[in-house]
A and B are shown apart, each in its own frame.
Chain A
Amino acid sequence: MNKKIKNRRHKSLKHSGGGRIGKPGESSVKYLIVGAGPAAIAAIEAIRKRDKRGAITIVSSEKEVFYSRPLISYLLADDIGEENLFYRGEDFISANAPLRIIAGAPASSINPRDKTAAIAYGRVLKWEKLIIASGGVPIVPPAILGAKNLRTFTTIEDARRLDADIKSGAKRAVVVGGGFIGLKCAEALVKRGVSVTLVELAMHVLPSLLDDVSAGIFQKNLERHGVSVRTLSSVEKIYDGGKKLKLSGGEVIETDIIISAVGVRPNVSFLEGSLIRMGKGVIVGDDMRSSADGVFAAGDAADVPEFFSGARRAVPIWPVARQTGAIAGENAAGGAARAAGALTMNSIEVFGLAVISAGSVNPSPDSGTAFLDGAAVETADGLADLPDGTPRYKKLVFDGGGRLAGFIMLGDVERAGIYTELIKNRASVAAFKRDLAGDSFGFICVGEENWKKRIMPLEV
């Protein structure tokens, strides 16, 4: 892995609080943001649209700020260097001044009544508005807890550690969890010459993104590239500090490293005792306000209103972090913005096979999904290879109201956004369902009244 970033890291560290925020009560900021991921960045940008001068302070538990987590798999695979990991560069800090960054200093507790936050080294900060954008932490199944060779894969430090493992001779890895973090990690490890076994509890990989058919194709591609996939499996027991593990089916696997990638949960343990209303994460309304006055939450740390049901739950994806972060920032700065419900959507490419999935893709009459209204679900599937042999699959899911509720596109993902937009609009597409499902679907399929105003010049 590239070491070029060293410089940048030191530069951003220069912005860390130094000694200027020292004694309790000494320092007060208008906006305090916990976290330095996409939700925090969107919040800063939104605050600055309304308030050019209010002081913003960021506290981040990690030393590196404003980097993109999804890029760590590209880093581990040696596709990019650390210098390419950053979502926003140095100019972002000056462009949003006064912006102070206290990096490598986790918030340890929040007191919403006094409007204070305790951060590392006993410092206390006073704030007027607080935005919690502390992201998620990886979940570790109890069976592998305590393994000496246990790794997770969500931070730049995690990627560096795996890089070091490989450099010091690790040849075999078990990735526990076949969600997108597990798959991107497995791909990167294979690219680095590590042989990987992937253990997935569900029937198939990417259980919430794919259906049986698409997952079957996806899995075959993984295996073709050397990943051994074990579905309907979990780790039952570890031996030798994790060098050997027994799967639920009885199989025993030897490994050098174990990566836990079974998912993330909101990173909110520092809010214990704060009396802020919590579900799994901070419960917020569509304005990203929490139960406490002046306290907002966004991104993976928040339980936000979900798209179809409005129920509060974590929707831990990048676009939602950006969207909710922007709403939190705008409202912290005095706005009255409301977010549309958070729609699950994912785009992932592993070993050259791309898939995009959004909304409800595995509907069943008993799934209890609110939008189904008990009505029958129609799907339009297609399965055919592309000219270059890449397998292709498409599935559209319509609800009882003739509205598009979800889709999967595998192999050929171009123009997927047309579907995503139709899901978001919640308008009936009953009249052009067949056009939409067809091979040559395009923007023209959304109906003349919809496309006309978007493409034509304004007549004067």
Chain B
Amino acid sequence: MKKIYAKPEYCMACRLCEIACFVKHSKSKKIIKAFREERGEFQARIIVEQSGPVSFALQCRHCEDAGCIEACLTGAMTRNPDGAVVCDENKCVGCWSCIMVCPYGVINHDRRRKKIAAKCDLCPDKNTPACVEACPNEALVYE
């Protein structure tokens, strides 16, 4: 299974990946509209981690031994046939058990329709995930 990896030595913490992810998962898919109308209701599913001069972008690792799937009270969090860990928005009730156990802290809230957990879905309708595409310095790779 292809995953997104980070290369901290190339990351400039420009956060364009966060913006691309946010826009990709917005309703309008338009940057200005998305920020004006949906900001606060949900967040990017990628986080730029920074400590002094070191930085990297982090999103769901689609763990083989995924604690979020085990902790999920509803069965919303599952592994799809190609290996990605995905959250079924219809089943999720927002109990945050997945947030309680995700070792990377990369599951957050989405309050747009009802309160549910949101995480990287590897942009299933794109060949290359939006964050990887947006990175100007190839600090994110999809391989």
When distances are taken between beta carbons in the complex, the residues of chain A under 8 Å from B143 are 457
Write the chain B residue with the least CB distance to A448.
Answer: B54
When distances are taken between beta carbons in the complex, the residues of chain A under 8 Å from B75 are 68, 86-88
Q: A417-B67, A421-B103 are in contact. Are A70 and B73 (CB under 8 A)?
A: yes
Query: Once bound together, how far apart are the Cα atoms of A391 and B90, in whole Å?
Result: 29
Tell me whether A456 and B93 are in contact (CB under 8 A).
no
When distances are taken between beta carbons in the complex, the residues of chain A under 8 Å from B61 are 454-455
Query: B96 within 8 Å of A by Cβ?
Result: yes
Write the chain A residue with the least CB distance to B105.
Answer: A415
A contact face: mostly helix, strand, loop, or mixed = helix
Interface centre among A74, A420, A444, A451 (most CB of B within 10 A): A444
Tell me whether A443 and B95 are in contact (CB under 8 A).
no
Tell me whether A347 and B96 are in contact (CB under 8 A).
yes
Query: A307 within 8 Å of B by Cβ?
Result: no
| Interface flags, A308-339, vs B, CB<8A=1, else 0 | 00000000001100110010000000000000
Contacts of A326-363 to chain B: CB distance below 8 A: 326, 345-349, 354, 356, 358
Interface size on B, residues (CB 8 A): 40
Query: A71 within 8 Å of B by Cβ?
Result: yes
Query: A416 within 8 Å of B by Cβ?
Result: yes
When distances are taken between beta carbons in the complex, the residues of chain B under 8 Å from A47 are none
Tell me whether A68 and B74 are in contact (CB under 8 A).
yes
Q: A319-B70, A455-B56 are in contact. Are A70 and B95 (CB under 8 A)?
A: yes
When distances are taken between beta carbons in the complex, the residues of chain A under 8 Å from B49 are 442-444, 451
When distances are taken between beta carbons in the complex, the residues of chain A under 8 Å from B103 are 417-418, 420-421, 443
Query: Once bound together, how far apart are the Cα atoms of A189 and B50, in whole Å?
Result: 45
Query: B108 within 8 Å of A by Cβ?
Result: yes
Which of A347, A451, A454, A457 meets B99, CB within 8 Å?
A347
Query: Once bound together, how far apart are the Cα atoms of A223 and B35, in whole Å?
Result: 35
Tell me whether A349 and B70 are in contact (CB under 8 A).
no
Which of A88, A323, A454 meets B104, CB within 8 Å?
A454
When distances are taken between beta carbons in the complex, the residues of chain B under 8 Å from A348 are 95
Which of B7, B51, B73, B104 meets A417, CB within 8 Å?
B104
18 interchain pairs, CB-CB under 8 A: A70-B73, A71-B73, A84-B74, A84-B90, A319-B71, A345-B100, A413-B96, A415-B105, A416-B99, A417-B105, A418-B102, A420-B103, A421-B101, A442-B49, A442-B105, A445-B51, A455-B61, A457-B7
- List B residues at the A interface (Cβ < 8 Å): 5-8, 47, 49-51, 54-56, 58, 61, 67, 70-71, 73-75, 90-91, 93-109, 141, 143
- List A residues at the B interface (Cβ < 8 Å): 42, 68, 70-71, 74, 79-80, 84, 86-88, 318-319, 322-323, 326, 345-349, 354, 356, 358, 413-418, 420-421, 435, 442-445, 448, 451-452, 454-457
